[in-house]
Amino acid sequence: MGGDHAPVAILEGARGALTAYPDLFLHLVGDEARMAPILKHMGMARELIERTRIVHCASVVTMEDKATTILKEKKDASIRIAAQLVRDGQADGLVSMGHTGAAMVASMKEMGTLPGVDRPCLASVMPNLTGRPTVLLDVGANVDCKPEHIAQFAVMGAVYAEEVLGLPRPRVGVLSVGEEDGKGSATTKEAAQALRDLDLNFLGNAEGRDIWNGKFDVIACDGFVGNAILKSSEALAEGLLNGLTATFMENWFTRLGGFLAMPALRRFKKKLDYAEYGGAPLLGVKGITIIGHGRSNSHAVQSAIRAALTASEHRVNERILQSLARLLPESA
Amino acid sequence: MGGDHAPVAILEGARGALTAYPDLFLHLVGDEARMAPILKHMGMARELIERTRIVHCASVVTMEDKATTILKEKKDASIRIAAQLVRDGQADGLVSMGHTGAAMVASMKEMGTLPGVDRPCLASVMPNLTGRPTVLLDVGANVDCKPEHIAQFAVMGAVYAEEVLGLPRPRVGVLSVGEEDGKGSATTKEAAQALRDLDLNFLGNAEGRDIWNGKFDVIACDGFVGNAILKSSEALAEGLLNGLTATFMENWFTRLGGFLAMPALRRFKKKLDYAEYGGAPLLGVKGITIIGHGRSNSHAVQSAIRAALTASEHRVNERILQSLARLLPESA
């Protein structure tokens, strides 16, 4: 029920995913009265309908709600019911385009945390012009992280990058203020030291620019920093692209120019499209949670479902447990 | 001597500034053998030449050097000699397009720190599409900041925004992970609390997106966060604009399109041009230091000199001292 284009974009994305992935079964958690007519209108094939189940639930978390609303006022919100399906083993994973905080709280509360993980973290798959994304984590506002938290983020991010994004032997870094080992805060230096001793493809310190130049596949940081960078980057990229669009509307010359360049500009924008990568995984919970952007179109929804499916098929959580146990035995 | 286009761009910027500001006197600190022929070739008017003095100094910090090189290997580097001119009262301010770290170390070492300032900080004037810049500070990698440091950054940034950038009663925020007062790290919450009690136009928490939307004139943060955001933003904006340029070169249609839209695109790029704002001030030292981008062209150099001149004429340091004494009496 969540996201700017719900439930239409969600249901269209669901249909796309059911068509593309024959082993997929979907629980559609939300208001049946709103979903049923859309599903009917979409005219899904019987074969697809047989692989869905509507889990009716009228209560929905809105963007105006606090993340913790599901603990008090809206205990039966759709996001919480969906998390309970995972908790109870009825579903392998949860996909939401709604309230990020609520999806995190619901997942942590209902599924619980993997042993060895102190804090689950939200990973953002940042598209860049090299065509190979970089996973930045935590972006979910786990503030005041200790070194071992950041090291755990790095390990979980590496597993996700390898298993779900298909990046072999991912190059891992800790975000800092300079490349040299001596640069950084007390926390990042200790986190880097912990990772340096491990069996990871750890390249050392990453800088802010390395989020975009393809030098790293995974960059771990405190959730305060990651969240600030994510929000800043979204606003900057959007501002630039909007400003550019406005520029093309200035006069007839620029309009014609924009018209001629449009197909190429579309291809350019597509390279940067987060819709390809299927949303942000919440890593470290006992289950799979993928949180898409509120603006997700049906393509982004389908990608998010694919990410959850791949995470399940590749047993990401088993791999995370193994990696944490092998790599950070003291915290297991 | 510093910067990618030195000394030509520096000297051309110097000429521009001398022409524009009749009260300006410039000490040109650097290698006379390299500067003299360029000055000669530029054919400056006698009236301008009379307001300059070459301070010869052969040693230069390169981008490969460490910031601390001026303390050991290159004690007579031009940046250090320039800082000594300010220390000795021969100059009011220092402008450099060279090694940022070296300019910071030289200024702090030679000029010293203003009373009441625990840590000088580097402020970046971030251009945005609203046409009104936002000052982000610290971006100079003062890591592990305490709440009082961030509060001091905010106070100094507000003085700079008002006196040098001409933004009346600047709107000040502390960078956090959510707008609500309860959101943030232990450090940012305490910094915000300290600022809330003061006679500032303090709006509370700012988020990453607020660097670009014009809601705040000054945003204070730990240097780790500010540095990561600055480097990330530079790389993202550059990547987007370069990718766009490449897009226009794809085929003859796009080339024609780009050609038609070029004047408008240039105006658009100019809005985002940091060259207008004259570089990053190092605030909190006993003197004025403006550090420009290494890529500065002559226009950016002239803007940086103007910023130093304005800071001196508006007695920014006196204002900072007053504000810190009035606003943060316990640290004065």
The conformation of residue B131, written as its DSSP 8-state character, comes to S
Lowest mean pLDDT among A204-208, B66-70, B145-149: B66-70
The conformation of residue B297, written as its DSSP 8-state character, comes to -
Q: What angle is formed at CA B299 by the lines to CA B297 and CA B301, rounded to 5 degrees? A: 70
Mean pLDDT (chain B) is 90
Chain B residue whose CA is closest to A127: B236
Per-residue pLDDT tens for A118-141?
999 999 999 887 878 999 999 987
In A, which residues are within 8 Å of B231 by CB distance? Answer: 207-209
Task: For residue B261, give how far its alpha carbon lies from the nearest alpha carbon of chain A (Å).
Answer: 4
For residue A79, which of A299, A282, A307 has the smallest C-alpha distance?
A282
Report the pLDDT value the prediction gives residue B261, as an integer from 0 to 100: 75
CB pairs below 8 Å between A and B: how many?
A: 183
Q: B249 in contact with A at a CB cutoff of 8 Å?
A: no
Rounded-to-integer distance, Cα B79 and Cα B291, Å: 11
Instruction: Please name the residues in contact with B66: beta carbons below 8 A apart, sequence gap of 6 or more.
Output: B101
- Taking residues A292-315, report their average pLDDT: 93
Task: For residue A278, give how far its alpha carbon lies from the nearest alpha carbon of chain B (Å).
Answer: 21
Per-residue pLDDT tens for A133-174?
999 999 987 999 999 999 999 999 999 999 999 999 999 999
Instruction: Give the Cβ contact number of residue A315 at 10 Å.
Output: 13
- Taking residues B191-205, report their average pLDDT: 92
Report the pLDDT value the prediction gives residue A251, as an integer from 0 to 100: 81
Contact map slice: A 159-178 vs B, CB within 8 A = 175-178
Q: A185 in contact with B at a CB cutoff of 8 Å?
A: yes
Q: Is the pLDDT of residue B332 over 60?
A: no
DSSP B77-106: -HHHHHHHHHHTTS-SEEEE-S-HHHHHHH
Per-residue pLDDT tens for B160-174?
999 999 999 999 999
Rounded-to-integer distance, Cα B211 and Cα B9, Å: 29
Half-sphere exposure of A157 (CA within 13 A, CB side): 34
In B, which residues are within 8 Å of A212 by CB distance? Answer: 232, 235-236, 239
- Taking residues B261-269, report their average pLDDT: 75
Please tell me which of the candidates B185, B224, B230 has its beta carbon nearest to residue A144: B185
The number of residues making up chain A comes to: 332
In B, which residues are within 8 Å of A259 by CB distance? Answer: 257
- Taking residues B103-117, report their average pLDDT: 95
Asked if B223 lies within 8 A of A265 by C-beta distance, the reply is no
Report the pLDDT value the prediction gives residue B195, as an integer from 0 to 100: 93
Q: A113 in contact with B at a CB cutoff of 8 Å?
A: no
Q: Which residue has the tokens 């969240």?
A: A227
Task: For residue A128, give how far its alpha carbon lies from the nearest alpha carbon of chain B (Å).
Answer: 8
Task: For residue B242, give how far its alpha carbon lies from the nearest alpha carbon of chain A (Å).
Answer: 10
- Rg for chain A (alpha carbons), in Å? 20
Rounded-to-integer distance, Cα B278 and Cα B97, Å: 10
Please tell me which of the candidates B129, B178, B253 has its beta carbon nearest to residue A239: B129
pLDDT interval class at A329 (50, 70, 90) = low
Q: Is the pLDDT of residue B137 over 90?
A: yes
User: Using CA of residue A155, residue A158, residue A163, residue A168, what is the dihedral sign?
Assistant: negative
CB-CB contact of A159 with A320 (8 Å): yes
Residue of higher predicted confidence among A204 and A239: A204
CB-CB contact of B204 with B181 (8 Å): yes
pLDDT interval class at B329 (50, 70, 90) = low
SS3 A56: strand
pLDDT interval class at B187 (50, 70, 90) = very high
Please tell me which of the candidates A232, A244, A251 has its beta carbon nearest to residue B208: A232
Q: Which residues is A218 bridged to in the sheet?
A: A135, A172
Backbone angles phi, psi at A66, to 5 degrees: -80, 155
CB-CB contact of A223 with A182 (8 Å): no
Q: Taking every pair of C-alpha atoms in chain A, what is the biggest distance, in angstroms?
A: 66
Per-residue pLDDT tens for B294-317?
888 999 999 999 999 999 999 999
Per-residue pLDDT tens for A97-117?
999 999 999 999 999 999 999
Report the pLDDT value the prediction gives residue A71, as an integer from 0 to 100: 87
Assigned token pair, A214: 């393809």
Assigned token pair, A289: 């949670």
3-state secondary structure A141-187: CCCCCCHHHHHHHHHHHHHHHHHCCCCCCCCEEEECCCCCCCCCCHH
Contact map slice: A 12-51 vs B, CB within 8 A = none
Q: Which residues is B52 bridged to in the sheet?
A: B26
pLDDT interval class at B275 (50, 70, 90) = low
Task: For residue A99, give how far its alpha carbon lies from the nearest alpha carbon of chain B (Å).
Answer: 14
Instruction: Give the Cβ contact number of residue A79 at 10 Å.
Output: 32
Q: Which residue has the tokens 């989020």?
A: A211
Question: Could you give the percent of chain B with pLDDT greater than 90?
Answer: 68
Chain A contact probe: residue of B190, B207, B209, B216 with most A CBs at under 10 A: B209
Instruction: Record the pTM.
Output: 0.91
Rounded-to-integer distance, Cα A154 and Cα A203, Å: 12
Per-residue pLDDT tens for A246-285?
777 778 877 887 787 777 777 777 766 666 777 899 999 9
- Taking residues B231-249, report their average pLDDT: 84
Question: Could you give the percent of chain B with pLDDT greater than 70?
Answer: 96
In A, which residues are within 8 Å of B230 by CB distance? Answer: 208
Question: Could you give the percent of chain A with pLDDT greater than 70?
Answer: 96
Task: For residue B9, give how far its alpha carbon lies from the nearest alpha carbon of chain A (Å).
Answer: 26
pLDDT interval class at A44 (50, 70, 90) = confident
CB-CB contact of B85 with B29 (8 Å): yes
Report the pLDDT value the prediction gives residue A57, as an integer from 0 to 100: 93
Chain B residue whose CA is closest to A271: B243
Residue of higher predicted confidence among B266 and A91: A91
Helix extents (H) in chain A: 8-20, 32-42, 46-49, 78-87, 100-111, 147-163, 186-196, 223-248, 252-271, 298-313, 316-327
Can you tell me the ipTM of this complex? 0.88
Report the pLDDT value the prediction gives residue A274, as an integer from 0 to 100: 65
Q: Is the pLDDT of residue B70 over 90?
A: no
Report the pLDDT value the prediction gives residue A181, as an integer from 0 to 100: 87
Mean pLDDT (chain A) is 90
Q: A208 in contact with B at a CB cutoff of 8 Å?
A: yes
Report the pLDDT value the prediction gives residue A53, as an integer from 0 to 100: 95
Assigned token pair, A65: 């709600």
In A, which residues are within 8 Å of B259 by CB distance? Answer: 257
Q: Which residue has the tokens 């799979």?
A: A288
Q: A294 in contact with B at a CB cutoff of 8 Å?
A: no
Q: Is the pLDDT of residue B68 over 60?
A: yes
Question: Could you tell me if residue A218 is left (phi over 0), alpha (psi between -120 and 50 degrees) or otherwise beta?
Answer: beta
Report the pLDDT value the prediction gives residue B331, as an integer from 0 to 100: 47
CB-CB contact of B65 with B102 (8 Å): yes
Residue of higher predicted confidence among A75 and B271: A75
Report the pLDDT value the prediction gives residue A331, as an integer from 0 to 100: 47
Q: Is the pLDDT of residue A36 over 80?
A: yes
Q: Is the pLDDT of residue A224 over 50?
A: yes
In B, which residues are within 8 Å of A240 by CB distance? Answer: 237, 240-241, 272
Report the pLDDT value the prediction gives residue B328, as an integer from 0 to 100: 56
Backbone angles phi, psi at B283, to 5 degrees: -100, 140
